[in-house]
Amino acid sequence: MTRGRRALGAFWAVVVLALVAGTGTLQWLGPPDAASVAAPATPAAADPAPPAPAATVVAEPFIEAPVPAAAEPIAATGAPVRTEPPAAPAPPPLVTPVAMPQQGAAEPRIAEPEPEMLERTRAGLVPKLGPDGRTSIRHYARPFDRDAERRPRIGLIIGNMGLFAQHSEEAIRRLPGAVTLAFSPYAQRPEPLLERARARGMEVLTALPLEPAGYGQFADPGDRALLTGRPVEENLERLDWALSRMQGQVGAIGALGRLRGERFAANAELLGIIQAALTTRGLLYIDPRPGAPTPARAFGRTVDLILDEPSETRSEVERRLTELEALALRNGSALGLLGNPTPFFTAAILAWSAGLEDRGAVLAPVTVLLRRPGTQAAR
């Protein structure tokens, strides 16, 4: 028993000596430095998310701002931990307005309708000669340097504009500015389309609903058609109505879509009266019948080729465009007519015209292709 008590007393003596030694050591070291105390470990922070793209238009090129250096983490030993800097976030994209490409931004703009060149009739406002003798043929024409541009000239007229607004708008936006547009008098609210056409520098015509072959059977030119069975005065009133449906036209064409007024035009006297009325108003006339004589009583031209006959297919239009080009190269000029602004017709014209100048010809507005009344000589 005495030996056990001695062993227990020795154990407690050692414990007391260890505590005294530890306390003395802590007092000798002094209080701990707060900066040397390691903070509790926390999960590593994720890389900062890239900034959201700016919501406004960036007018100047984007310059990436310098990324501020992050504070270096401190290890428990007090030494900084070297880490790779996080990758800089990608710069926000330049915000630009989304807009359809504007073809011919530098193209000349057709003049706005001139009040002094309009006459008020029972049908509405119709063209007339200006006080200084100006004609619509010249005032609303697309500029063309006849002296500098001597290559063979090809004119294209697209009919039935305004009846199918979406197709018409696409044709105006995509086709070359030298293409001429024939607007139907039955089009509802053609003004926005006419304004776009003027901005592109495109000449416009009024499509006249002349009595066609097959009238009363399968061909319907509408309730305002000029008919062989109507009095001259009534036909002239209907002419005024058709002309009043738009302003700023250079003239008229005797075709409504694929209807080409064959029955009315076969009456030379009636057709001559209409041509003379157009001439007194400063307007040209285009005869849509290939092979017909040059207009006898108006400045104008006869169409050389119908592009969507005998079939209304893109392959037919492409074939006919090739024929029209060959005709122009042979004769110095050629004029083609397409009945409708169908999208695949528009695509065919675009593909064909892309290399036209490299092949030695040039597109020209219809006013460049005029001939004097009753002659075949170019004006």
For 76-124, the pLDDT digits (tens) are 444 444 444 333 333 333 333 333 334 444 679 999 999 999 999 999 9
Those residues with Cβ within 8 angstroms of residue 195's Cβ, 6 or more apart along the chain or in another chain: none
The candidate with the shortest Cα–Cα distance to 283, out of 341, 328, 242, is 242
Q: What pLDDT shows up at residue 8? A: 57
Which ranges constitute the DSSP H helices of 179-250?
Answer: 191-199, 232-244
Q: Which residues, given as ranges, of the chain have pLDDT below 70?
A: 1-106, 375-379
Q: Which fold has domain 117-369?
A: TIM Barrel (3.20.20)
Quote the pLDDT of residue 88.
Answer: 37
Length of the chain: 379
SS3 136: helix
Q: Where are the alpha helices (DSSP H) in 190-290?
A: 191-199, 232-244, 262-265, 268-280
pLDDT for position 80: 43
pLDDT at 311: 85
**Rounded to the nearest 5 degrees, what angle is found at the Cα of 213, between the Cα atoms of 165 and 283?**
60
The sign of the torsion formed by the CA atoms of 338, 347, 137, 241 equals positive
Q: How far apart are CA 124 and CA 240, in angstroms?
A: 8
Predicted local distance difference test score (pLDDT) of residue 30: 45
Chain-centroid distance of CA 60 in Å reads 26
pLDDT of residue 13: 59
Q: Supply 33's token pair.
A: 């430095």
Secondary element (H or E) of residue 324: helix 314-331
Span 29-69, pLDDT tens digits: 444 443 333 344 444 444 444 444 443 333 333 223 333 34
Pick from 62, 114, 117: which is nearest to 90 by CA? 62
Q: What is the Cα–Cα distance from 282 to 82, expressed in whole angstroms?
A: 87
Please give the Cα distance from 79 to 74 (Å, whole number): 6
Give the integer Cα–Cα distance in Å for 308 and 220. 19
The pLDDT of residue 107: 79
The full set of domain ranges for the chain reads 117-369
In DSSP notation, 79-121 reads PBPP-PPPPPPPPPPPP-------TTTTSPPPPPPPGGGEEE-
User: Of 189, 140, 154, which is closest to residue 169 (Cα–Cα)?
Assistant: 189
pLDDT of residue 4: 53
Per-residue confidence (pLDDT) for residue 265, from 0 to 100: 97
